[in-house]
Amino acid sequence: MKNLLSAGLKKLRPVAPGATTAPIGRNRAQVVAVAAQKGGVGKTTTTVNLACALALTQGQRVLVIDIDPQGHVASSLRESVRIAGTSLSDILLAHSPRDLMEAVRDSEIEGLSLTPPDKALNETDTRLSTRVGREYILQGALRTARTLFDTIIIDCPPNLGNLTLNALVAADHVLVPCDMSILAFEGVADLLGTVAIVNDRLRHPLSVLGILRTRVDGRTQQINEAIGGALDENYRHLILDTAIPVNSALAQAQAAGRSIFQYAPQSRGAAAYKALAAELAGRLAAPAESSVAQ
């Protein structure tokens, strides 16, 4: 169950081994944090398959940053774990500013790069607590990456610690997965409260890209209507058109260490994430019109 990404991603290599900075590019990446203050709602599944869909079907250059200590985005990448190199913790804990590109690896999926899994992030979260300006470290480290990619997606941990705050302050937008459960529904309010704190106290203009309904099971109509209705009533303007159905192929793909596009390209899960990529690519192209500032 540790294999979560494509076998095609197994042979990772550093973008610029030993280099302190990568060349500046001409892109202006939009940074999206995938966050929910509850585990198991589909954050990692969404990060991985949305990133692949943007790269494979929208022709984008995409970077995935795995800031969750669980390392689920890339825990299948055993070879990458053995690569000695810079980790996200090295960047976040450095006493003088460092460039995230030092930690970025290319994948064998055209257009997709990622940061390696970093089990030390748990301790890093605690160690950051004593640092002045701790919430702004990732934001500063992303300057070069923003010029090299079209979209940067950050997979967040389920708690509101220093790592999640770094992700939210580094991001332009937050995407909030919500499965059809009352706990996930309540978690949406918590997350939106956090966005307000980021806007007001940390003075960072983070906007909500949308609430993504995940793991929607056609067999549980009553629950869908209850949770879907409550979401609609409270956050109608934030709910994305695309919903992700329950699809065992998505869980199987994760277990097999492959994206849904390689594991089961004809599945309902693949179709849903392809539709999500198209919907979000449209929103990200015109963020001022379609995303909603809090």
27 exposed, middle or buried (CB, 10 Å; 0-12, 13-18, 19+)? middle
**DSSP-derived secondary structure for 162-198:** HHHHHHHHH-SEEEEEEESSHHHHHHHHHHHHHHHHH
Considering only residues 56-95, where is the footprint of ligand ADP by CB under 6 A? 72
Quick one: 101 or 163, whose CB is closer to Mg ion?
Answer: 163
43 binds ligand ADP (CB under 6 A): yes
Q: State the minimum distance, in angstroms, from the CB of residue 36 to Mg ion.
A: 9
- What mask, x for binding ligand ADP by CB under 6 A, covers residues 152 to 171? --------------------
Q: How far apart are CA 156 and CA 52, in angstroms?
A: 17
Structure tokens at 188: 């949406």
The entry of ligand ADP, Mg ion, none that residue 291 binds, CB within 5 to 8 Å by partner kind: none
**CA-based angle 57:58:61, to the nearest 5?**
110
- 45 forms part of the interface with ligand ADP (CB under 6 A): yes
Residues lying near Mg ion in the complex (CB under 5 A): 43-44, 72
CB of 130 to Mg ion, least distance (A): 27
- Tell which one of 214, 259, 262, 291 touches ligand ADP (CB under 6 A): 214
Crossing angle of the two packed helices 162-170 and 182-200, in degrees rounded to 10? 70
5-23 burial code (b ≥16 CB/10 A, e <16): bbbbbbebebbeeeeeebe
**Taking CB positions, which residue lies at the least distance from Mg ion?**
44
Give the one entry of ligand ADP, Mg ion, none that residue 42 binds, where binding means its C-beta sits below a cut-off of 5 to 8 angstroms depending on kind: ligand ADP
**Residue choice 3, 6, 37, 44 for contact with ligand ADP (CB under 6 A):** 44
Cβ distance to Mg ion smaller for residue 14 or 71: 71
250 belongs to the binding site for ligand ADP (CB under 6 A): yes
Q: Using CB under 6 A as the criterion, which residues of the chain lie in contact with ligand ADP when the complex forms?
A: 39-45, 72, 214-215, 244, 246-248, 250-251, 254, 269
